[in-house]
Amino acid sequence: MAPPDDTPTESRNLVKRVLTTLAACTFAVATLAGCGSDDGQEAAASPTTPAATATTPAQTDGAHTDDAQTEGSQSFTMAQVAEHNTASSCWTAIEGEVYDVTNWISQHPGGPDKIQGLCGTDGTATFQGQHSDAPNPNERLATFKIGTLEG
């Protein structure tokens, strides 16, 4: 980063950027203290609930379905997970469970690309490699569970 000009506007902009970054980091640490990652972890948005059938995509706008099924009671194939491989519908399988992490993309402290890289894939190795046995990331991940992985 180039040093700022000595103008008051440039100085104010630099201060704003530093304070914004500091606030984001403080929030992330306070929310997920001890996540054990160089990239950090961010606070999650509310989890989404799957639609009524396994072949229907889960809602990714944070709305919940009104059907009688409980959260996480559905099962999905890896092919179904693979269909949700974009930032607007991002599912991942981790340790045999399926998660809709769409709302987490923009909040992840390590940046959106860390989560987008998991969209439509089995993210077990990546998640374990980054977070191993840290309890807070596992607890946060659980809030996004929409079902289990078949097979």
Note the pLDDT of residue 93.
Answer: 96
Q: Is residue 141 part of a domain?
A: yes
Q: What does the block give as tokens for 81?
A: 């997970």
Please give the Cα distance from 92 to 10 (Å, whole number): 42
Q: Is residue 47 part of a domain?
A: yes
Q: Is residue 3 part of a domain?
A: no
Q: Is the pLDDT of residue 5 over 80?
A: no
User: Domain containing 143: what range?
Assistant: 32-151
Note the pLDDT of residue 32.
Answer: 39
Please give the Cα distance from 137 to 50 (Å, whole number): 21
Q: What are phi and psi of 75, to 5 degrees?
A: -120, 145
Q: Kindly report the CATH number assigned to the domain that includes residue 68.
A: 3.10.120.10
Please give the Cα distance from 25 to 35 (Å, whole number): 13
Q: Is residue 119 part of a domain?
A: yes
Predicted confidence (pLDDT) per residue in 28-42, tens digit: 433 333 333 344 433
DSSP 113-149: HHHHTTTTEE-HHHHHHHHTT-HHHHHHHHTTEEEEE
Please give the Cα distance from 41 to 54 (Å, whole number): 29
Q: Is residue 134 part of a domain?
A: yes
Q: Is residue 39 part of a domain?
A: yes
Residues shown for the chain: 151
Number of domains within the chain: 1
Q: Do 77 and 124 touch, CB atoms closer than 8 A?
A: no
Q: Is residue 79 part of a domain?
A: yes
Predicted confidence (pLDDT) per residue in 56-115, tens digit: 334 443 333 333 344 557 999 999 999 999 999 999 999 999 999 999 999 888 888 889
Please give the Cα distance from 59 to 84 (Å, whole number): 11
Mean residue pLDDT across the chain: 69
Note the pLDDT of residue 12.
Answer: 60
Q: Do 123 and 23 touch, CB atoms closer than 8 A?
A: no
